[in-house]
Amino acid sequence: MRNWRWGFLLLLHFAFLLGTEAFKFHKTQRTERISGDHSHMPLVVKALLGNCNRMKTFSNHWAKICVLLDCSAGDVLEDDPVGRLKVFVYELPSKYNKKILQKDPRCLSHMFAAEIYMHRFLLSSPVRTLNPEEADWFYTPVYTTCDLTPNGLPLPFKSPRMMRSAIQLIASNWPYWNRTEGADHFFIVPHDFAACFHYQEEKAIGRGILPLLQRSTLVQTFGQRNHVCLKDGSITIPPYAPPQKMQSHFIPPDIPRSIFVYFRGLFYDVGNDPEGGYYARGARAAVWENFKDNPLFDISTEHPTTYYEDMQRAIFCLCPLGWAPWSPRLVEAVIFGCIPVIIADDIVLPFADAIPWEEIGVFVDEKDVPNLDTILTSIPPEEILRKQRLLANPSMKQAMLFPQPAQSGDAFHQILNGLARKLPHDRTVFLTPGQKILNWTAGPVGDLKPW
């Protein structure tokens, strides 16, 4: 089992240092085992890696440790964007948004639903202005991901034509696009590879970002450094995860975290990657091949009804890349206080200028997946506790959600904060009369057809 035994010796040693009071208390408690043979785990996990607030009462020594670990996410998460920017929302024909949603209400709960909820939020937000002459930013409400297969998978093939059509409409009916060619406009593009509009990376790279969006600010879930589908100045956001659904699965905070590593999801995508090795760049396959029999790893392709509860019983939650580097697991891990183990080289994480990801997560290079057990069991107990303490910060969780109605510090406000930090616009974004930069005929021939 490689080095997991050494890891537990380290955990046992630190647990002893916490004092016999905590040890005796946990020794008398019933341990709930989720799956696998964890008979050697729970005592240490309960004595050492449980909820900090619960454990601080056991001794003055532990109380002092918890005070030292009581760190916050920083004031930037609590910034109030109201008064710092004004947004004009274009009124488009309903075929670009509302009628599309009426055809398929599943779009409201899909992980790409941020485009819908951001539109609804802005319509009633105090940052909205009805006077475009005083606007700092212009928003075009286009639901480009609300085209789902019977299985609920998004089809991005119509998206480029739909987006082009909307831009042609605002450029023809308002003067504001033409004066900057979109440099003071932002668009929500939550596709797998954002404005490259394809779910397969190779084809997304071949397409590149839709040419008409090259000057605009893109608000997108996809984030990877040095990638053609992420341009400078984009705002990376979390995928949508239904807040009410997650809230209904909260378990009592005193339930011990008796799972060391947890993951549910695909390891191979035989349908789209029959030869293997391309899906997740082989990282998920490496997790399965190396740790399917490791008692520290509770991993499976099965998605149980207790999925959310299990995450709250886990210390580490794997967040590996799939076809894209991001997934809702990252949001779920933060909400449920499970330390995210991020396996996606060069990923750009949501609101990275506000959330201290290096402090709350663990980053593992894709090539180092075979050493994952050694890496995780080598993390000092005090560092694990510190990460758990940070994850417990309500402002950290709030920043990852799109609640209805909106709440202070949530993902809506983090997006606005990101836009506000880009102000004022550089004077060079305003074009001289008659000046043109964008090529309206660039891109694949299929994208130029009418929508």
What single string gives the DSSP state of each residue in 36-68? S--TTSHHHHHHHSS-HHHHGGG-HHHHHHHHH
Asked if the model's pLDDT at residue 105 lies above 90, the reply is: yes
Write down the pTM of the prediction: 0.84
> 199 or 260: which carries more pLDDT confidence?
260
Indicate if the pLDDT at residue 305 is higher than 50: yes
CATH architecture of 243-400: 3-Layer(aba) Sandwich (3.40)
Supply 108's token pair.
């409201």
Q: How far apart are CA 190 and CA 197, in angstroms?
A: 9
Check if the beta carbon of residue 394 is closer than 8 Å to that of residue 78: no
Return the pLDDT at 86: 98
Give the 3-state secondary structure of residue 363.
Answer: strand
Continuous segment of H or E residues that includes residue 362: strand 362-363
CA-based nearest residue to 251, from 304, 332, 307, 312: 312
Q: pLDDT above 70 covers what percent of the chain?
A: 83
Q: Report pLDDT for 357.
A: 96
pLDDT in tens, 206-223: 999 999 999 999 999 999
Q: pLDDT tens, 381-415?
A: 999 999 999 999 999 999 999 999 999 999 999 99
Residue of 98 and 46 predicted with greater confidence: 98
pLDDT value of position 75: 58
Torsion of CA 289, 294, 296, 297, to 10 degrees: 30
Mean pLDDT of the region 105-130: 97
Q: Which residue has the higher pLDDT, 129 or 68?
A: 129
Whether residue 62 is predicted with pLDDT greater than 70 in this model: the reply is: no
Kindly state the average pLDDT of the residues 350-363.
94
Contacts of 64 (CB under 8 A, 6+ apart): none
Give the C-alpha separation, 100 to 142, whole Å: 10
What is the rounded distance in angstroms from the CA atom of residue 118 to the CA atom of residue 54? 37
Structural domain boundaries in the chain: 87-240+413-447, 243-400
Kindly provide the residue ranges of all beta strands, DSSP E only, lying in 105-258, ordered along the sequence.
137-139, 185-188, 217-220, 235-236
**Does residue 282 surpass a pLDDT of 50?**
yes
The sign of the dihedral angle between the CA atoms of 308, 313, 316, 318 is negative
- Residue range 60-66: average pLDDT? 33
| Mean pLDDT across 248-258 | 94
Tens-digit pLDDT profile for residues 2-28: 454 444 444 444 333 333 333 332 333
Q: In angstroms, how far is CA 40 from the centroid of its own chain?
A: 33
pLDDT higher than threshold 80 for residue 44: no
Question: CB count, 10 Å around CB of 246?
Answer: 18
pLDDT above 70 (res 121): yes
Distance CA 204, CA 57 (A): 53
pLDDT tens for each residue of 415-440: 999 999 999 999 999 999 989 999 99
Q: Which residue has the tokens 């705002």?
A: 235
156-166: b (≥16 Cβ within 10 Å) or e: bebbbbbbbbb
Query: Average pLDDT in the 339-357 region?
Result: 95
